[in-house]
Amino acid sequence: MKKMKLGRWRPVAIAGVAFAVWVALWGELGAPADGDSSFGEAVATFGVAGPEKAPAPKTNAGPNPNPAPNVAPPVPEKPPAPKPMSNRVVEYHIGVALDADNHALHGTQTVTWRNPGKEKVQELYFHLYPNAFESDKTTFMRESGGKLREDKRTANSYGGMTISSIETTEGLDLTHRLAFEQPDDGNKADKTLAKLRLPKAVPPNGTVTLKMSFTVRLPEVFARMGYKDDFVMAGQWFPKIAVYEPAGTRGRTAEGWNAHQYHGNSEYYADFGIYNVKIKVPTDYVVAATGFPPKPAVVDKKSGTKTYHFYADDVHDFAWSASPHFVYAEEPYSAPNVPGVKIKLYLDPTHLELKERYLYAAKKSLQHFSEWYGPYPYSTLSIVVPPEGAGGAGGMEYPTLVTAWAADSADVGYELERVVVHEIGHQYWYGMVASNEFEEAWLDEGFTSYAEDKLMEAEYGLTPSTTLEASYMTNPASLTRFAWNFDSHDHYADNVYIRGKLVLLAMEKEIGEAKMKRVLRAYFDRWKFRHPSTGDFQKTAEDVTKRSWAPFFDQFVYGDQMADYAVERIERAKSDAGTYAYRVTVSSRGGKDGPVSVRFLYEDGQTIREEWPGKEDSVVFALPPHAAKLKHVVVDPEHGVVLEHKRINNFMKTDVDDKLETRWTMGVAKLLEALFGTVVW
């Protein structure tokens, strides 16, 4: 999610062809009637014909004095199925109809879950995210205050989800077994997480298939999902199974569910799988969605509806958006690490003249990110531009689909490009690496913010003001703090987005940009589709750089430190007549992120530079006698220490008494804090 403004065939393409052939043979696709989860296997294996049988060779009419030995003809080989990119724990077959007049979704789904652990599992957990908007008493509403970024709820911003039925494939009704859970805060008014007790435990690598019916009342959008007039953004809209983590996943010692409520700060975490979705909307609506359409939409003139069909595999979510006003444009795009992608743009009419800017930003994002981190493996990338007033739906990422800022104005600056770049960056760290955004959000938002800055500088020449951004860190916190445990949304955003990005930049400063690219490339290659932890990233960095990062991570990642180097005092030392000698004390008041340079300027213009490793609490520089007086001392004059957040104490003049100087420095600092709050640092 974006923080508030400051052509070769590939396996996936083959799977798409197989799917299209499968549909053509079997007609309208529905969930397997017997509950057998064979759909994924069909997609993986069907549709690529074997080689044609060669014609029999011609022979002479007469006998052959030297007959050739009998050789059996080769058996036609079955082409290997494309290897799944992920472990495909879940498989969803969903049908949903939009009731545009009543702002509601009516859906059915058949979902199959495979037990990835080594123990039997007796229950399933479902995320029912729309229930966050049920009342003012839900955990999301309490923590967010009914606000996301600058978008606030309206009188119509209430909604929810009703599960009307849950059945096994044998027809056993399990609806009464569903119970709401509140493991994070005990808030009984919160119904965003539910546990379903199964009649029979699921063995290791075994599966369970359920049929579910549900209805969603959409809120007027202010926080990601909902409607605005006749525009719909359906994100986190269906009952979604939580993540069951095997032992060893993200460092856990015992397997179990990772299931949390929907919080004001937190985003999402889900397992990879297959999504086969039909979406019925009024005839004049255009639908954007995760994945690709295996066949054209079907119009039913009698009912005045149109049904879209989308398929996606190796993704961990499915989102869609619909509007009768979308202006659709598409362009094929390929690059050395992007064999072939169809970029699909769903514009609000207000931004029709900005089409090329959206497409250019998307192309350059795919080009650079695939070069820096790894190939983009999907066949589509969709960009939705919400209409004016639907800002809450903007600046959000979903697998193969992103939303830009709302089209509130046709006069926009580089924020247009920045948000598109940011959300496409999420396709890597949120989408493919699939970090746990409940518990380690920085692994997505911090990494994406870092990638965003790199691309905006490389492609548009826009350099971030990291010195100013570091000054925002008045209340640094551990980057591994659970999202809802931050003090506020600003506290969450400052740390997860900005401090997380600065930590990566500090690593880059230490090892160089080329090696940092190697670290991130190795991390992506090693952990894509696997749900890594902060410890997994640290281990990757150590493997690539051949050094320990424990002191750095302990201070700045697991800990809550920022760097704070200060000139503590300047003392006149004894020297020969006509010369001046000084002792200068420099300290580290925060985390140690050296080396740090110190500049000494004399009144005659001469400058002395020293470099301090910055690993101790303090150091005393004994300056040799000099003919002129020392004018001032500056620590880190080039602002090379990325994590330095209190630069006011980096400077000291010598023409003030030491006691007065200390008092002056602290006095000014306190005054500025009182006047400007967080701005001072």
Classify each residue of 43-69 as buried b or exposed e, where b means 16 or more C-beta atoms within 10 Å of its C-beta: bbbebeeeeeeeeeeeeeeeeeeeeee
* Beta carbons of 454 and 508 less than 8 angstroms apart: no
Residue with tokens 């006095």: 667
Dist. CA 170–CA 35, nearest whole Å: 8
pLDDT of the residue at 335: 93
The correct answer on CATH 2.60.40 for the domain covering 564-662 is: yes
| pLDDT in the model for residue 80 | 72
Distance CA 261, CA 195 (A): 12
Whole-angstrom distance, CA of residue 338 vs CA of residue 363: 10
Instruction: Give 75's pLDDT tier (boundaries 50, 70, 90).
Output: low
Q: What angle do CA 580, 584, 585 make, to 5 degrees?
A: 165
Handedness of CA 504, 505, 511, 512 (dihedral sign): positive
Do 96 and 278 form a contact (C-beta atoms < 8 A)?
yes
What residues contact 539, with CB distance under 8 A and at least 6 apart? none
Tokens at 242, concatenated: 């939580």
pLDDT of residue 201: 98
CATH class in words for 83-323: mainly beta
Alpha helices in 90-205 (DSSP H): 139-144
User: Rg for the chain (alpha carbons), in Å?
Assistant: 30
Instruction: Report d(CA 177, CA 191) in Å as an integer.
Output: 15
Q: What is the DSSP secondary-structure string of 201-215? A: EEPTT-EEEEEEEEE
- Structural contact between residues 598 and 590, judged by C-beta atoms closer than 8 angstroms: no
CA atoms within 13 A on the CB side of 73: 10
Q: Which residue has the higher pLDDT, 17 or 71?
A: 71
- DSSP designation for 387: P
What contacts 120, CB < 8 A, 6 or more positions away? 201, 202, 203, 204
464-476 residue pLDDT tens: 999 999 999 999 9
Region 372-394 average pLDDT: 97
DSSP 250-312: GG-SS-EEE-----SS-------EEEEEEEEEETT-EEEESSB-SS--EEETTTTEEEEEEEE
**Which pLDDT belongs to residue 308?**
98
> Tens digits of per-residue pLDDT, 602-636?
999 999 999 999 989 999 999 999 999 999 999 99
At 81, the pLDDT band (50, 70, 90 cuts) reads confident
Report the mean per-residue pLDDT for the chain: 88
Lowest mean pLDDT among 42-51, 456-465, 577-586: 42-51
* Residues in CB range of 408: below 8 A, 6 or more apart: 388, 389, 391
**Contact 271/530 with Cβ under 8 angstroms?**
no
Give the end-to-end CA distance of the chain in Å, rounded to a whole number: 26
CB-CB neighbours of 207 under 10 Å = 16
CATH 2.60.40.1730 in the chain, residues? 83-323
Active site includes 497?
A: yes
Q: List, as one string, the DSSP characters of 427-481.
A: IIIIIIS---TTT-THHHHHHHHHHHHHHHHHHH-----HHHHHHT-SS---TTS
User: How far does Cα 502 stand from its chain's mean position?
Assistant: 17
pLDDT of residue 29 exceeding 60, the answer is no
Mean pLDDT (whole number) for 73-101? 87
Encode pLDDT of 260-315 as tens digits: 999 999 999 999 999 999 999 999 999 999 999 999 999 999 999 999 999 999 99
What pLDDT score was predicted for residue 655?
78
At 50, the amino acid letter reads G
pLDDT of residue 408: 95
52: annotated active-site residue: no
Among the options 220, 397, 423, 440, which is catalytic?
423
Determine the pLDDT at residue 79. 66
Residue 388 labeled ligand binder: no
Instruction: Report the percentage of the chain scoring pLDDT > 70.
Output: 85
Helix (H) or strand (E) run with residue 99 in it:
strand 90-99
Q: Is the dihedral of CA 638, 643, 644, 646 positive or negative?
A: positive
Rounded Cα–Cα distance for residues 182 and 184 (Å): 6
Question: Tokens representing 39?
Answer: 């759909």
Dihedral sign for Cα atoms in the order 626, 629, 634, 638 = negative
Q: Regarding beta strands 151-152 and 286-289, do their DSSP bridges make them parallel or antiparallel, or are they unpaired?
A: unpaired
Q: How far apart are CA 136 and CA 145, in angstroms?
A: 8
Reported as a single tens digit per residue, the pLDDT across 438-455 is 999 999 999 999 999 999
**519: three-class secondary structure by DSSP:** helix
Query: Residue 413 CB: number of other CB atoms within 10 A?
Result: 8
Q: Indicate whether 666 pLDDT > 60.
A: no
* Beta-strand pair 380-384/327-335: unpaired
Q: Is 571 annotated as a binding residue?
A: no
Is the separation of the CB atoms in 638 and 624 below 8 Å?
no
Q: CA nearest 376: which of 367, 388, 364, 385?
A: 367
Residue pair 593/563 in contact (Cβ under 8 Å)? The answer is yes
Measured on CA atoms in the order 455, 457, 463, 467, is the torsion positive or negative?
positive
Q: Token pair for residue 356?
A: 């090329």
Asked if residue 3 has pLDDT above 60, the reply is yes
**Treating both helix axes as pointing N-terminal to C-terminal, what angle do 442-460 and 415-426 enclose, rounded to 10 degrees?**
130
Listed residue (371, 374, 400, 395) closest to 385, CA to CA: 395
Beta bridge partners of 28: none
Helices 500-511 and 442-460, axial angle in degrees (round to 10): 60
The answer to whether the beta carbons of residues 175 and 162 sit under 8 Å apart is no
**pLDDT attached to residue 70:** 54
- The alpha helices in 54-178, defined as continuous H runs, are 139-144
Is residue 317 a contact partner of residue 127, using CB atoms and an 8 Å limit?
no
pLDDT of residue 71: 57
User: Which residues are within 8 A (CB) of 216 and not within 5 positions of it... i.e. 6 or more apart?
Assistant: 104, 105, 107, 130, 159, 160, 161, 162, 237, 238
pLDDT score recorded for residue 19: 41
SS3 563: strand
Q: State how beta strands 243-245 and 240-241 pair.
A: unpaired
Residue (of 624, 643, 642, 531) closest to 584 by Cα position: 624
Determine if residue 426 is labeled as part of a ligand binding site. yes
- The mean per-residue pLDDT over the stretch 422-450 comes to 98
What pLDDT digit, counting tens, does each position of 526-573 carry? Answer: 999 999 999 999 999 999 999 999 999 999 999 999 999 999 999 998
Q: Of 430, 497, 523, 602, which one is the catalytic site residue?
A: 497
The mean pLDDT value for 399-422 works out to 97
For residue 391, what is the DSSP state? Answer: G
Whether residue 205 is predicted with pLDDT greater than 50 in this model: the reply is yes
Rounded CA gap, 239 and 233, in Å? Answer: 16
